[in-house]
Structure 1
Amino acid sequence: MSRTMDPRGPEVVSLAGDNLRVVDKPRHSKRAALLSTALRVTVKPALSVWSYAPGAPWPTGLLESVAGLLPAPRNATVEDIRLPQCDAEVIRAASPEHADTHAVLYLHGGAFLVGGLNTHRGLAARLSATSGCTVLNVGYRMMPKHPVSRAVEDGLSGYRWLLDQGYPPEHIVVAGDSAGGYLAFAVTLAILDADLEAPAGLVAMSPLTDFDPDRKLDQPGRPSCALFPRSAWRGFLRLVDLVENELLSDLLQPASSLVDADLHGLPPTLIQVGSDELVLPDAELMAIRLARSDVEVELQIWEKQVHVFQVAVDLVPEAREATREVGRFVRRTTSDGRRRVARRRRAVGSVR
């Protein structure tokens, strides 16, 4: 592994040849530290209690209901739509440059269990502003009523909806955070399996990609995650098993570790993760597997940032910087995608 220091910017690390670029983001503001402390003394103990009985009838919809009381994002329009099996919404920031031609398919986080359109509307609006695109925020079906594969189906439905609205694949980026990061990869793989043209790019923020507990937990000396106790991961796995053993049919694929999937054909990918997160090994291993599958990938490691810190865009300066990075990536890949498609069409025409 080689490292090069740029005095004008972050440290860049090359791990797997030309396909993988690792960028260390060393900034850690006082507001970021305050958020980390607040989560350690509030949410983390609650998740520890949850982990002892993940299958109990917890009020999983409470967070989404409370988030519904928040004011609508400023300088953005929100239009409710209905996909075949779930609700979704079309979000456009004020005067986005490419709203009619470029789009982000967004899949929210929440361990396939909590959260929804309300909790992630602000982040989706921010991404519309930084990317200049329309954002389709998908309220996919979740546990415990549905297995993970139903969420993948809903994400694929969202992609088809964008195609039906006239958005070309080379102008679409699939994005998600946490469990939604898992879905961003899984939905894009489902797009390829359905013989649809791949999107221009993929963005995963603090993604879950690996269901193997040993690869994630058996790392002595790692800093403690500010949000998730180690017991919460095992509780989550027990819940996935409970739901899938009860609801999974022969027509559905079980949830699996995407780091072990065939990743060839995926588009250029941006992964953002905090340096102390429980899912840091997921992000690192996924980046390496993508690079080895001939996928261009940039892995950004943000120092001591909490899980999906981008949601705190109104509080934490690093969140604003990270969402600007996502916006730049979306603009770049959709522009590159347009050029790639144009070259491919010219090549086909020359053969004829």
Structure 2
Amino acid sequence: MGSHLTVAADAEFRAGASVRSQALAFGLKHTVRPLLDVWARLPFDLFPPNVLEHAARLLPAPTGTRWRSVRLEHCRSEYVIGAGVDDVPGSGNVILYLHGGAFLTCGINTHRRMVSRISTAADRPVLNVGYRQMPYAPVTESIADGLEGLNWLLAQGHRIEEITIAGDSAGGYLAFAIARAALDAGLGRPAGVVALSPLLDFDTSSKAVHRNADRCQTFSLRTLVRFGELTHRLDSRRGVAGRRTCPVDMPLIDMPPALIHVGSREILLADAELMANRLVAAGVPCDLTVWDRQVHVFQAAASWVPEARSAIAEIGDFITALDEQQGGATARPAAPQAPTGTARRSAAPA
């Protein structure tokens, strides 16, 4: 196997990296990573404005995308229906999505394009949750907002076994945490979890000794150490220190099946391997796919990078296969019906 795993869980290795994917990796390595290194060296905490989320309002969604705003108690969210997906509110399978951004940046605008493509690939609508982020809220409140999104879907009539929870980067942390929270709250077990380049452990000790400790195109070890310190300081200021458990340390024996995607040079490969190993050891099915030289959350570049399109297709296949594992889910209605509320449709090119 080309994945170089030193854990019990076998990985699928997707060999090959296109010229476009390598150009993206080169660009990130020489722009984003140095900027994050500068941030990590600052003698004070800096929380820049979420410029990416505001700028992303200008990005067109893939052709045929429909969406409407959903107001949860503490945050904005968005119900996204990808091109070709039929939807009758409260009926059939659905995805709960948590965006990445290190709990500091990004949101529903930055992730609308990728979420729409995942919706189309999996043939089901998606609730994209714009959860509260640092420095205004600790990670525990981000988890609470995701659980609120899950409860919103249940209130619409969806059954827990029809809901797949997905997320990228920090959203991968939330996807596992929300599945755990749902089980602990007695809501039942979601259909599955999908995590893309997930951050799953704030402890950087395993990353420091990993072969990718200094190979990642996006994050240095120093950046992740500083990020972990920042989250712990915020937890302490908010009085929630010690109340949060990272996904790799959660009880896993009753968790739903999982799919984890990660790039072969990402420093977060350490988290992905550890989580896959612990899930398999707990008897939980876990598909770990390691993508050759792909960057952090490369799936977001599907309009440009061919491997991203292949990855999204695999995500769709995994989610639809969960229906069979659950013994057959409620069939999706043949006739489309627009959801209630104000909806928008994109006719812009992908």
TM-score, length basis structure 2: 0.88
After TM superposition, list the pairs within 5 Å mapping 1:192-203 onto structure 2.
Answer: 192-203=183-194
2:31 is the alignment partner of 1:37: no
Q: Distance in 2 between matches of 1:30 and 1:15?
A: 31
- Greater shift, 72-81 or 31-40, is seen at 72-81
Aligned to 2:38: 49
Distance change in 2, residues 1:148/1:221 (3 Å): closer
- Select which of 223, 227, 234 maps to 1:243: 234
- Select which of 165, 173, 176 maps to 2:167: 176
Deviation at 1:221, TM superposition (A): 7.0
Aligned to 2:273: 284
- Select which of 293, 297, 305 maps to 1:308: 297
- Select which of 275, 280, 287 maps to 1:298: 287
Contact 1:108 1:179 in 2 (8 A): yes
- Select which of 80, 97, 119 maps to 1:91: 80
Structure 1 residue matching 2:58: 3-state secondary structure: coil
2:262 is the alignment partner of 1:273: yes
Superposition CA RMSD, Å: 2.2
- Select which of 115, 119, 138 maps to 1:124: 115
Aligned to 1:346: none
Q: Distance in 2 between matches of 1:288 and 1:11?
A: 14
Distance change in 2, residues 1:223/1:55 (3 Å): closer
Gaps of 5+ in 1: 4-9, 342-352
Q: Distance in 2 between matches of 1:281 and 1:14?
A: 10
Deviation at 1:97, TM superposition (A): 4.8
Aligned to 1:73: 62
Q: Distance in 1 between matches of 2:86 and 2:188?
A: 24
Deviation at 1:75, TM superposition (A): 1.1
Q: Distance in 1 between matches of 2:141 and 2:44?
A: 19
Query: For residues 213-254 of structure 1, what are the alpha-carbon distances to aligned partners after superposition, in whole Å with 9 as ceiling and x for unaligned?
Result: 1111123575610011221011101210221111134xx863
TM-score, length basis structure 1: 0.88
- Greater shift, 94-103 or 56-65, is seen at 94-103
Distance change in 2, residues 1:74/1:220 (3 Å): closer
Contact 1:147 1:248 in 2 (8 A): no
Q: Distance in 2 between matches of 1:285 and 1:73?
A: 35
Q: Distance in 2 between matches of 1:332 and 1:66?
A: 36
- Structure 2 counterpart of 1:317, which letter? P
Q: Highest relative contact order (Cα 8 Å, sep 6+), 1 or 2?
A: 2
Contact 1:206 1:271 in 2 (8 A): yes
Distance change in 2, residues 1:65/1:77 (3 Å): same
Distance change in 2, residues 1:311/1:54 (3 Å): farther
Aligned to 2:225: 234
2:222 is the alignment partner of 1:225: no
Q: Distance in 1 between matches of 2:318 and 2:43?
A: 37
Q: Distance in 1 between matches of 2:174 and 2:69?
A: 21
Aligned to 1:347: none
- Structure 2 counterpart of 1:199, which letter? P
- Select which of 84, 94, 101 maps to 2:92: 101
Overall identity of the aligned pairs, in %: 41
Q: Distance in 1 between matches of 2:180 and 2:74?
A: 20
- Structure 1 counterpart of 2:12, which letter? V
Contact 2:200 2:247 in 1 (8 A): yes
Q: Distance in 2 between matches of 1:114 and 1:160?
A: 24
Distance change in 2, residues 1:158/1:177 (3 Å): same
- Structure 2 counterpart of 1:213, which letter? T
Distance change in 2, residues 1:314/1:305 (3 Å): same
Deviation at 1:12, TM superposition (A): 11
Deviation at 1:55, TM superposition (A): 5.2
Contact 2:248 2:278 in 1 (8 A): yes
Deviation at 1:156, TM superposition (A): 0.6
Deviation at 1:101, TM superposition (A): 1.1
- Structure 2 counterpart of 1:110, which letter? G
- Greater shift, 295-304 or 93-102, is seen at 93-102
- Structure 2 counterpart of 1:207, which letter? P
Q: Distance in 1 between matches of 2:218 and 2:112?
A: 21
Query: For residues 61-86 of structure 1, what are the alpha-carbon distances to aligned partners after superposition, in whole Å with 9 as ceiling and x for unaligned?
Result: 11111112212332110100111111
Deviation at 1:266, TM superposition (A): 0.7
Aligned to 1:7: none
